[in-house]
Chain A
Amino acid sequence: MPRITLTNVTKQWGKFTAVDNLSLDIEDGSFITLLGSSGCGKTTTLRMIAGLETPTWGEIRFDDKLMFSSEKNINVPAARREVGFLFQNYALWPHMTVVQNIAFGLETLKWKKSDIQARVDEMLSIMQIEPFAKRYPAELSGGQQQRVAIARTLAPRPRVLLMDEPLSNLDAKLRGEMRTELKRLHRDMKSTFVYVTHDQLEAMTLSTKICLMNEGKLQQYAPPLTVYNSPANLFVADFVGNPAMNIIETTAKKTSDTTAELTLLGHKAVFQANAPFDLAGDTALGIRPEFLPISDHGDLEGQAYSTLPAGMETTVKIKIAGQILSSVVFGAIDYETDQKIRFSISGAGILLFSRLSGQLLASGRISIQ
């Protein structure tokens, strides 16, 4: 199972740059998600790894073997990269039965008849689709089609499995089930998975590392929790997490290597960073909703703008100093609209960003004066 390396990969269509100078090191056996909103270049990246799209510049390697190099004029065709590709709309061949769909790739690889038979049976049983073996794709439900597509993709034992938003056409419940199965499948197969999605929850729950992209550029490449707790910049901070992080514009003045004074929601406050940091220009404070606990003796007072109980937890929208902040509270509570609420800012995971560059400057605690 190979390690995949992308070096300075760029893809342009005329003047439009879909992927901009992307370098990525995908470790052997990892489960990587390419995350971003539509048009950010994530699918293009996946297709370039598969060999379905030709990069304009750059290099792609599987282990030490060059798959593509614009310098050395190398471009190994998709068929010889031994990758599996799971398409968003499954791309099942409508004129073939489930068995024929799964066997097609093996026949192309000139496997022996008996081997094909055995492998197809094995895939049918792994994906639990034996009862549908003789059916045509049009006679299957979305979830069953999805399983057939996975079986077809995995049958030739690809070294790398590439998936392009494979769950986006399923309903919420099925999507949850398939997520669980994909994670198990990854562990059982021990091969490298690269997974494209615009759903941050999928990215958070499935992957060993998230590659977050925006407008063709890499924003952050790190394990999910790192992306969540220390987003590299304001874009990442805003994109990951639901409800989204509260971003509050502030003016900060440094008072020591690790402290700064700031005005926050009409109050004076002190920011105590976890490590020394530099400060330049305007700043913004990023606070996750779970770091705004509601309690009767909170330092800050606001009004309940709207309350959204979801059973297990409740999102409370608090209006304060002309801004609306989100707070998440465990359990179900319901506040009257415009009811006064006291809350505080807790924990050591409060983030300070530069407003100019958007980059993360420091993380630390806030104390209201």
Chain B
Amino acid sequence: MEKNKNDGQKKSGHFLYRLKSFFSVQANVLIVFFAVLLLVLTIYPMYSVLHQALTVGKMDSMMYNSLFGLKLKPGDLSLLNFRMLLGNAYTAEYSASYFWNPLFNSLCMSALASVIAILLGGTVAFLITRTDIYCKPFFSSVFIFPYIMPSWTLALVWKNVFANSGVGTGVVGMLESLTGLCVPPWFVYGIFPCSIVMGIHYAPFAYILIGGTLRNMDANLEEAATILQADRLRILLKITLPIVMPALFSTVLLVFSSTMASYAVPVFVGSPGNFFVLSTRLNSLYNSTYSGQAFVMTIVLILFGVLLLGINQRFTGKRKSFTTVTGKSGQVSYIHMGKANLIVTVFLVILLFLISVFPIISFALESLCETQGDYSHLTLRYWLSRENIGGYAVNVGNGILFNKSIWSALGGSFRLSLIVSLIVGTCGVLIGYAVARKRGTKLASLVSGLAFFPYLVPSMAFGAIFLAVASRLTFLRGTLLLLILVGSIKYLPFASRSGTNAMMQLSGEIEEAAMIVGASWPRRMLRILFPIQKSSFISGYLLPFVSCMRELSLFILLTTSGTLITTLLSYFDEKAVSQMSNGINLLIVIIVLLVNFIINKLTGASIDKGVGGN
């Protein structure tokens, strides 16, 4: 950048030379390349969303014409989609039911989920980093499970356990089946289970971010207060909490925006109780003939995301100024919990069992039930049958282990996830390198901002956008390429974040020391930079893989049900073959946990590094 400045008195030949020398630095080439690429990949979809939001659809035109006495043709541009959804004299009720109430619900659910995530994750982070609680390694690895597993996992479990004859379809859940207890309807469906499930799903997020800060915080800061005879509580409130505050804010905002955009959970434990949020309404609008309004809603969701990101960046910008790694913070004196230790440990073990281990057991059990909810007759039929299971009005196929379509969908998911993670992880490393080398420049902040942008677009909307894109670029329609493209863009944020974090930790001198002995750029990347931050970079590959493996809402609009394991799962779920869907769920959870475990053991990479923890 600096080379392009202050050459007013130079000749044009000089400008060409400067351009050439600018692009002889790899970081410059990369930063420009990604700036252009990301601009295209952001602007084009945004343009497409805006265009769709302003376009009057076929059914829209008929309705608008009769409502407002207009003569619109399908394809005309107008603001009517906005007027319709956001409300006017004619549609107050419609707009309340489709926009304002869901918006209010979304905000409440997200706020509650954030509070739950912070309380749960923050407490565990504090216990693990600051007290002498037992079995720390166990807690820190198992506590991440809810985030690794698909978000709907816990929702399904909630349903499996608490559904009862007094609510909704009257399917009998585990609790009623075993004890005869019926919990009230608000406990089964609605804002209560939605917030709790989302809160638990994102609690690891809070744990990773807050725990990272606590771990990096110089112990001297707390020790200084101890010397001044402040008691533990005072230190916690006056020293620790303010220092963790930025990480807390980061977590709240990330959890808040993720919850706003989440779809699967409100569908499972919200909609059956007539609890609708923006994302569920968004999906029904997409699937209706009034898709223009769906894009209006998408714009609203994106704006919320941008707002939250803006706030978040203000706080994380500040954050850097006071959490510095000094390298001496290793000697933290743990709080001795004495007799409470055992009680807290046992409590935590039970909690972790319920949110991390129990889902797996629940899926296994459900997949073994002869009849859904009846635990007295168990069968392996749904796993082992070599014949078509049938029995329902749907084509189910053989048992899970011998079912060709399940295996091919699993293969499809695996292949897609692998390709996506390779692309995304590599881009993450390169973006991280370019941003770290050009830190402080406008291009660098542009690239890191743009790379985070896909995080703000709800998966569902992302799918819809690329459906629209594919309708123009027809060669993409229904291809693996389209899925790869969508997946790669959607998962870029975390990969680029972990890549940037990792690169920022390396001083420029580490690379310069190799540069000065004449090591080429690829050699510096492969021999010096990548090996040093190996585990962080591989985490940048791992997270997209895991996310892609369990992704549903992103792909559901773009492909047929047999292509991916998640879309197949959703098919079985729709057809109410709960043994099969629970079995497949179990399969996904196990694969994801297994991959995570193997990569972690082999390379030291982990999901927490991928999320941006330290």
Contact = CB atoms under 8 A, between A and B. Distances in A.
Interface of A: 12-14, 50, 52, 54, 56, 73, 75, 77-80, 83-85, 87-89, 91-95, 104-105, 108-109, 152, 156
A89 B515 contact: no
A84, A88, A108, A152: most-surrounded residue (chain B CB, <10 A): A108
B566 to A, nearest CB: 38
Given A56-B6, A73-B21, A89-B507, 19 more contacts: A14-B2, A14-B5, A52-B515, A54-B21, A75-B21, A84-B516, A85-B513, A87-B513, A88-B509, A91-B512, A91-B513, A93-B513, A93-B528, A95-B532, A95-B534, A104-B514, A105-B518, A108-B517, A152-B513
B517 A105 contact: yes
13 contacts: A14-B2, A73-B13, A85-B512, A85-B516, A91-B507, A93-B510, A104-B514, A104-B519, A105-B519, A108-B514, A108-B523, A109-B517, A156-B517
B14 interface: yes
B527 interface: yes
B6 A12 contact: yes
Contacts of A156: 517
Contacts of B5: 12, 14
Contacts of B472: none
Given A87-B512, A89-B509, A91-B507, A104 B532 contact: no
A160 to B, nearest CB: 11
A85 B514 CA distance: 10
Nearest to B518: A79
Contact of B516 (A13, A79, A92, A95): A79
A80 B532 contact: no
B185 interface: no
Interface of B: 2-3, 5-6, 13-14, 17, 21, 24, 507, 509-510, 512-519, 523, 527-528, 531-532, 534
A79 B513 contact: no
A93 B517 contact: no
A337 B153 CA distance: 79
Contacts of B523: 108
A73 B513 CA distance: 25
B510 A79 contact: no
B2 A87 contact: no
A162 B24 CA distance: 24
Contacts of A80: 518
A93 B3 contact: no
Given A52-B515, A78-B516, A83-B516, A73 B17 contact: yes
A50 B512 CA distance: 10
A147 B507 CA distance: 20
Nearest to B17: A73
Nearest to A47: B512
8 shortest interchain CB distances as A-B pairs: A105-B517, A79-B518, A91-B509, A73-B17, A91-B513, A87-B509, A95-B531, A108-B519
Nearest to B16: A73
A77 B515 CA distance: 9
A219 to B, nearest CB: 25
A94 B517 CA distance: 17
Given A13-B2, A14-B2, A56-B6, A94 B516 contact: no
Nearest to A86: B513
Contacts of B515: 52, 78-79
Contacts of A14: 2, 5
A48 to B, nearest CB: 13
Nearest to A106: B517
A290 B515 CA distance: 48
B512, B513, B528: most-surrounded residue (chain A CB, <10 A): B513
Contacts of A56: 2, 6
